[in-house]
Structure 1
């Protein structure tokens, strides 16, 4: 951003294939995407899909993977479920939020681990 002499505006902006911060995009004189140049949810999804494919990671990668990754990482860091939900836009007590948590280490996360049983 400093190289583009931008000191304000969106943090996540569109960047072209040459590494330049892209200006707002217009089609037929009408702005498309976000008029401030902010990356759109669709743009973020494309970045995740391409990165997953280019890295040849197993599974299906989408923009939604960012929500799953956030929820799982926050839970692993022992953050409060209400705080995780509020930050991610889920309602307090949302059962849907629980579906976003992925099992990463089934032994360490096992409720019997450390109980002596």
Structure 2
């Protein structure tokens, strides 16, 4: 079994899935609404949504005959926490580079 962070990164690796998440960041949407801007079949969009669901990034609910999807942010919080150390590392490096460049510029 793969760890949750690897599952999240694997789900985020595809540009279509990232676009679907961006759509859901604006609010709930049905599969048809999510599929509209993409040149893909509904089954293809559904497969992408299934990957996002398995990663815990999308939750489907049921309202009568509709099954709206919504963004679940907890896995993204875990990615953000994991990246925090690297963010600090790179910020420090870029600050040191800026200091060095300002010393070399007359």
What TM-score does the superposition give when structure 1 sets the normalisation length?
0.28
Between structures 1 and 2, the one with greater helix share: 2
Query: Relative contact order (alpha carbons < 8 A, sep ≥ 6): 1 or 2 greater?
Result: 2
